Amino acid sequence: MKDLFDKIYKDKGPLGKWAEQAEGYFVFPKLEGPISNRMKFRGKDVITWSVNDYLGLANHPEVRKVDAEAAAEWGSAYPMGARMMSGHTTLHEQLQNELAAFVNKEAAYLLNFGYQGMVSTVDALVSKDDIIVYDVDAHACIIDGVRLHMGKRFTYKHNDIDSIEKNLQRATKLAEQTGGGILLISEGVFGMRGEQGRLKEICALKDKYNFRLFVDDAHGFGTLGKTGAGAGEEQGIQDKIDVYFATFAKSMASTGAFIAADKEIIDYLKYNLRSQMFAKSLQMQLVIGALKRLDMLRTMPELREKLWENVDALQNGLKKRGFDIGTTQSCVTPVYLKGSIPEAMALVKDLRENHGIFCSIVVYPVIPKGLILLRLIPTASHTLQDVEETHDAFSSIRERLENGTYKRLSAGVQASMEASS
């Protein structure tokens, strides 16, 4: 009989197998210093384009003060236990009410982590006779929620309305046999490529098909819409989103998340979200910190204006220089280049070591083979000087990519990767 660990010794998994070449530099890098537009990487100053602190709240003095005072008053334990048992407080309720009002829904419920909360919400919304229809490029937390589903699920081509409609037709036929309903899940903003989910067109399909819409708006909340209420507000269909989700991990620069919907739906979910019913309540310091951040989202539109000034400057400048930034409709700024994985590694090293630019790198299998995606997240704490330096750096690396410099520099890496794959 095999030892359970045999497979682990042999195969570290699709990402783990590159650990030797990548760990500490391309994956699990250590960014040091206060979270801001410029941090330290391996002792060197870098402009950070890989932190989702959209509104620059992470290190805002007012936020830091409230966080510190809340930690001093409450510590990190209070309240103990799950919300249902002993972890419920008036401030949890207040935050829920304020979040619901902000995103224009009747009610909201807090989640300890967005990821677990999404998994549980998908799980709680469907039973085995129901059918889930979701985007093939959905975030891992949606996929994991769908994995728990005991009934049928259909993926549609990424953000493709024809494919959505075809799958709604298939789902409708099946639901008529099973006696179930249909849950359609989209993201408000797709975090890799930056496109907004086609929520307006999806909602228009509600006239023809009977389904409920669940939107993960992790990247849209706080960044999109007239008041920052997200992709639904931006597209004018917030009222047609049946269940809205956002995390505190991005524009709120914290930990935690929430769902918002009609009161009756939230009342149901709060008694049926397993990851919340059987896990400790969100700590008070995070609740108080979230109330402060939400207040700033509401009352300081200048944060969002500064964010968008930087987004526009970054994206327009890249486009002007002929870079392919795909079809982004959000702050997420992808730059697509052609090259192999070893070339991408040499290029990113050049960006970090010689130009002081730190951004994330995405390669196959997340995107097609032969493409390199450099992902930049502009924030309100960046400056136009940061943007200009980054434009110049990108022009330089493109030149070196095209003249074969990175191919030459990465010849050794290429050989070792071929040997280990």
Ligand X SMILES: Cc1ncc(COP(=O)(O)O)c(C=O)c1O
Where do contacts with ligand X occur on this chain (CB under 6 A)? 113-115, 118, 139, 141, 187, 191, 216, 218, 247, 249, 257
Minimum gap (Å) between residue 375 Cβ and ligand X: 12
CB nearer ligand X, residue 66 or residue 138 = 138
Residue nearest to ligand X (CB): 114
Q: Which is nearer to ligand X, 191 or 317 (CB)?
A: 191
Q: What is the CA radius of gyration of the chain?
A: 22
Least distance (Å) from ligand X to the CB of residue 91?
19
Contact (Cβ atoms closer than 8 angstroms) between residue 280 and residue 245? no
| Angstrom distance (rounded) from CA 337 to CA 340 | 10
Helices (DSSP H) in 273-383: which residue ranges? Answer: 274-277, 284-299, 301-320, 341-355
CB of 412 to ligand X, least distance (A): 35
Q: Least distance from C-beta 15 to ligand X, angstroms?
A: 17
* CB closer to ligand X, 118 vs 260: 118
Tokens of 343: 């070339």
DSSP secondary structure string for all residues of 349-414: HHHHHHH-EE-EEE-TTTS-TTEEEEEE---TT--HHHHHHHHHHHHHHHHHHHTTHHHHHTHHHH
Amino acid at 64: R
The Cα–Cα gap between 250 and 34 comes to 16
Nearest distance, CB of residue 245 and ligand X, angstroms? 7
Alpha carbon distance 250, 246 (integer Å) = 9
Structure-derived torsion over alpha carbons of residues 301, 290, 190, 233, reported in degrees to the nearest 10: -50
Q: Of 218 and 351, which CB lies nearer to ligand X in the complex structure?
A: 218
Q: Which is nearer to ligand X, 91 or 249 (CB)?
A: 249
* Shortest reach from residue 251's CB to ligand X, in Å: 11
Of 245 and 406, CB closest to ligand X? 245
Using DSSP, state whether 239 is helix, strand or coil.
helix
Which amino acid does the sequence have at 214? F
Q: Min. distance of Cβ 246 from ligand X in angstroms?
A: 9
**Listed residue (139, 324, 113, 101) closest to 216, CA to CA:** 139
